[in-house]
Each structure stands twice: as structure tokens, then as C-alpha cells.
Amino acid sequence: MTCCSSEEAREQRRINREIEKQLQRDKRNARRELKLLLLGTGESGKSTFIKQMKIIHGSGYSDEDKRGLIRVVFQNIFMAMQAMIRAMDTLKVPYGDPSNEEKAVIIRAIDYESVTTFEEPYVSYIRDLWNDKGILEVYDRRRDYLSDIDRISQPNYLPTEQDILRVRVPTTGIIEYPFDLEQIIFRMVDVGGQRSERRKWIHCFENVTSIMFLVALSEYDQVLVECDNENRMEESKALFRTIITYPWFQNSSVILFLNKKDLLEEKIMTSHLVDYFPEYDGPPRDAIAAREFILKTFVDLNPDADKIIYSHFTCATDTENIRFVFAAVRDTILQHNLKEYNLV
């Protein structure tokens, strides 16, 4: 009887050891793949961030990839010029050269989504409009393509990495981008940011390692595409509040990217933060004070005093800035993951 009991005890210990080994393997495997959920409202810079990861930690963009984006760059040029023509009308700004008014009518009538080429006479029309004193009076960052019309209109044009980073294609559905970094797979997931897309994904994610939430600093004076009387930053704050209080994300680290800091620096000189956020009591035309105020409004939404909100100011189109920031983010994510599995 004693011998039988001893054999059973040995077998039980063996089984326990196997279970423990399997648990350790599961922990190691879980550590090898980290899921990063990229969240934020539409046009906050999520897709640009994914592109940067492909450039910095992936294989970048092949010539074939670039050729596939030529049409989208052309469409963005028409879309940008049409936006400025509309701004001319809204602001009642006259054209410096009256002959450009007819060119504006022609360009505005183009369905930019159907554009596949960039040829005469449209190249000349857009170039003339871009150089018009009236258009220059209402321009914004759309100049990034418009100032390169001569280069982009060449027959052998191939988009540069900067062209790719700046090209705008609204994200619909879910896009995953995995990349290997120091023997760990980072699986970055980008989702549609518009309200119509959000309901498709908001309840679908559990056990993500980190929430990476992007805020466009420059949107403090803008309204939503889907609802033209709601401030974009207020919508971003509402989404952030929702995300950080979901039980599904209770164990996920939260990293807040206050993006488009370069646009904030430009815009704050003429568009005053206090006009949109009366509680702001800092100096006018001060980008540092403005961004610190915006950061605080987001951090204050965190109801859990024990949960740290990690934050970074970014310019998603600046590869070196994103390289530097993501190195810090990677360390934060890895440390958090080690703690989660009781490995530190």
C-alpha cells in the first residue's frame, strides 16, 4: 500500500512539474508577441505611425509599393487644392490674379477620388493657383505636396518616404502590422477612427499589452468630419475616457501620444487656445504651455490613481522623432509586460 501511494505521489509530482513547465512556456510565448492597439479619432496620425514602424523596424517601402501610391498622391494634391479654394470662398479672399478664378472652378469640379494621372492642363492650373497671392493667404500644411508640384508631375515620379508618410488614406476596418524587434514580435493594430468605424472594434479587444492613444494637438480648433458642430479634441477626450475605463483594458499599459506638435506650433500663433478652451489660463501664442495644458486635460480623465499614463509629444511624419520616442515606448512596454507575468 505504501509503495503504491509512493508511486502515485511521484506521478503527481511529475504531472505538476509538466504543468509548471507548460505554464512557463506559455508565459515565454506570451512575452514573445506583444499586441499594441493603436487608438484615436480620425486623422490623429495612427496610420502614419504604422508607416513609420515599417520604415524604422520593417523592410520599408519597395519601388513597387511606392508605385502603388502614386495615384493617391495625385488625389491628395487635388483634395488639398480644392480645400484651399473652398477656404477662399468662405473667407471671401480675392484671387491675386483674376484669371485664376476660372482655373479654380475647373479644379474644384474634379472628382479627386477618380484621379489617376497628373497631367496638363491641371498641373499648370494647380501651379498657378498655388502661386496666387490669395491662395497663399489661406494655405496651411497642404503646401507639403503643393510646393513639390514640379517634382511630382515628372513622368518618372516615384513617391519618397516623406510623400508616403504624408499621403492621406482614411482607414476603414482593421489593419495589423507585425514587426520583430529583439526576438519579440510587436503586433501593432490600427483601426478606423471615425465614429462609423468605432463600434466595429471597441468591444473586440482583450488582453492587449498596450493601448497607444494618439491625439492631434492641432485639432483644438477643429470640428469633426462626421459632425460639424463638435470639437475634435472634445471627441478625442471622450474616446480616451471611454477606453481607459473599459475593464477589457484594465491590465494594459496606456501610452498617450500628443501628435502633430509641429502643426500646433504654427497654428497657436494665430488661433488662440482660450477661444476654444476657456479654462486655459496660460500665455497666448505659447506652444509649450498649450501642449502641457492639453496633456493635463487628458491625464485628468484617468480615474485610477495607481494607473500611470505614459505620454510623449510627437510629430508622426518625423522619422527621427518617432524612432527616438518608440525606443522609450518599447522599454516601457517590455517592463510592463515583465511585471504582468511576474518576471521582474
C-alpha to C-alpha distances, 67 to 55, 116, 159, 227, 233, nearest whole angstrom: 16, 12, 7, 35, 35
Given the residues 160, 162, 194, 319, the one annotated as active site: 194
Binding residues: 43-48, 165-171, 190-194, 259-262, 316
Q: Count other C-beta atoms under 10 Å from residue 277's C-beta.
A: 18
CA–CA distance, 88 with 49 (Å, rounded to integer): 32
Measure CA 100 to chain center.
36
Backbone angles phi, psi at 124, to 5 degrees: -65, -40
Q: Record the cell numbers describing residue 182, joined without a space.
A: 529583439
* 26 is a catalytic site residue: no
* 140 is a catalytic site residue: no
Buried b (16+ CB within 10 A) or exposed e, 33-67: ebbbbbbbbbbbbbbbbbbbbbbbbbeebeeeebe
Given the residues 43, 132, 219, 235, the one annotated as active site: 43
Given the residues 132, 163, 190, 265, the one annotated as active site: 190
Beta strands in the chain (DSSP E): 33-39, 174-181, 184-191, 210-216, 253-259, 309-313
Given the residues 31, 108, 141, 168, the one annotated as active site: 168
CA–CA distance, 316 with 45 (Å, rounded to integer): 6
* 102 is a catalytic site residue: no
Partners of residue 210 on adjacent β-strands: 36, 253
Binding residues for GTP: 43-48, 165-171, 190-194, 259-262, 316
CA–CA distance, 167 with 48 (Å, rounded to integer): 9
CA–CA distance, 281 with 320 (Å, rounded to integer): 33
* 187 is a catalytic site residue: no
Binding residues for Mg(2+): 47, 171
* 270 is a catalytic site residue: no
The residues that are catalytic are: 43, 48, 168, 190, 194
